[in-house]
Structure 1
């Protein structure tokens, strides 16, 4: 095993909304032995981690105009700091996550391209997560309305772009062949969409989420 048996999740406080309790409880039930640790990060405990261990990032963290940006950011910091798995509260567990522990880091492939940040995992101190937390500060700018700002500054587009940069650097260093989407040079693995989607053989279930999306995502989706 490489990735620690820790499941990190986040919410404003300890009072998880009823609509997400089935997903939350499913992960606790599937991973119910003492070898697994479940951590629910609240707004207060998340900020405390930044303040105590990463004070250089606190001004950026506090200055984000949207709360979801802090929710995005803290997930990269907790995985870098402790290692383990991160799951959004609207993602449930159909099977144990143990098979993923053999890898150094994982992200789910999304459609039509890129990776998501609603489920991910890595070793403590993983080099790609170090890149993520380091690059956040330089991407804290607005991109029009809320949705594109979040996506490009802290969200999945940010992660996808950083992963592309990471791979490019690795490839230049090793002069290796272009890696495949399923296995990326032994340090980051992008799991197939089928193992992440709501299929009977996937590891996860998906419940209503995206609570931060506003009118602008509807416009962008239409375009």
Structure 2
């Protein structure tokens, strides 16, 4: 192979690799942006709390309830596993749910009971559970496993109840939606064994990546970004002939509901839930990602533009020394 041909093959190979890199990078940017609903609205059916309450006004409700009357909450004392005393504001918020649901089962998952549950019901996951670098990741995954095993409604301790949650029992699986950004996993509910919860638990091992930054690692490996990715995957599988969806007699294999819980001024009113102070797992990079989240559209556009500009500059530089360019410069 002559030097000219070798150089041409090399430049062609580099160009093809660059094109592949562009396609892959753009696909990852689009996938990341979709977690925040930037490229298209979140999959499923968006519904307000007022609409849910209105749908339940018929007495008795003609629909068949799907979700068991269980409220799950989690308290992991990261300083003393033997102390299960709640913060006063969290205890007060929890009491609102207990008082409004006297005939429901209320399960408070502590540090010890959570680990015992994983050890007894999902022993294959225990090594991963014990290795989580950030304690809040254990809180995240317990939500998914208890909903898969028991069904019911999970509520963060910094949320309380403003009304009876019976109107939510008719939705096979649901989550809450802050109206912007990723979907929330602070309030999640559904029937026992729903495929969404299987997706959430079965894919945790594959998503165990350390992104160096604590916030990104937590959010992508178990938190809201992970939850949103699995929510989108569930809805993408609905249109495919997947064994776990097709041919099943279980109810609920349909688009799911994300319930609006937007706290911004002028948003739809909250009917079922209240909010108290949370912020129990703040890391040094939380503020940085909060700013990024508020400006994610602009930041995505900026980084995409920078990437394409750098790629264009590299390709332009690589072709300056090509045989054709050299010949043209010599002829000139």
Superposition TM-score, scaled by structure 1 size: 0.88
**Other-structure match for 2:222:** 154
SS in 1 for 2:227: helix
Establish whether residue 14 from structure 1 lines up as the match of residue 84 from structure 2: yes
Give the 3 Å change call, closer, same or farther, for CA 164–199 of structure 1 in structure 2: closer
**Other-structure match for 2:195:** 127
For residues 84 and 191 of structure 1, what CA distance do their matches in structure 2 show?
16
Aligned-residue CA RMSD in angstroms? 2.2
**Other-structure match for 2:109:** 41
Q: Which runs of structure 2 are paired with 1:171-210 in the superposition (5 Å)?
A: 171-173=239-241, 186=254, 188-193=256-261, 201-210=270-279
Q: Is the CA contact (8 Å cut-off) linking 2:260 and 2:268 kept in structure 1? A: no
> What is the Cα deviation at residue 200 of structure 1?
5.0
Q: Is the CA contact (8 Å cut-off) linking 1:85 and 1:121 kept in structure 2? A: yes
Q: Is the CA contact (8 Å cut-off) linking 1:194 and 1:202 kept in structure 2? A: no
**Other-structure match for 1:179:** none
For residues 255 and 291 of structure 2, what CA distance do their matches in structure 1 show?
36
**Other-structure match for 1:86:** 154
Q: Of residues 167, 172, 181 in structure 2, which corresponds to 1:104?
A: 172
Establish whether residue 163 from structure 1 lines up as the match of residue 239 from structure 2: no
> What is the Cα deviation at residue 109 of structure 1?
1.4
What are the ranges of 5 or more consecutive residues in structure 1 without an aligned counterpart? 175-183
**Other-structure match for 1:50:** 118
What are the ranges of 5 or more consecutive residues in structure 2 without an aligned counterpart? 1-64, 77-82, 243-251, 293-332
SS in 2 for 1:128: helix
Flag the structure with larger Rg.
2
> What is the Cα deviation at residue 21 of structure 1?
1.6
**Other-structure match for 2:289:** 220
Q: Is the CA contact (8 Å cut-off) linking 2:73 and 2:157 kept in structure 1? A: yes
1:125-173, CA deviations, whole angstroms, 9 ceiling, x for partnerless residues? 1111011100011112211211111000000100101111111111234
**Other-structure match for 1:77:** 145
**Other-structure match for 1:181:** none
SS in 1 for 2:274: strand
- Equivalenced residue count is 212
> What is the Cα deviation at residue 214 of structure 1?
1.8
**Other-structure match for 2:67:** 3
> What is the Cα deviation at residue 201 of structure 1?
4.2
For residues 210 and 99 of structure 2, what CA distance do their matches in structure 1 show?
40
For residues 220 and 191 of structure 1, what CA distance do their matches in structure 2 show?
24
Range that drifts further, 108-117 or 59-68 = 108-117
SS in 2 for 1:152: helix
Range that drifts further, 185-194 or 76-85 = 185-194
Q: Is the CA contact (8 Å cut-off) linking 2:235 and 2:255 kept in structure 1? A: no
For residues 108 and 200 of structure 1, what CA distance do their matches in structure 2 show?
14
Give the 3 Å change call, closer, same or farther, for CA 168–202 of structure 1 in structure 2: same
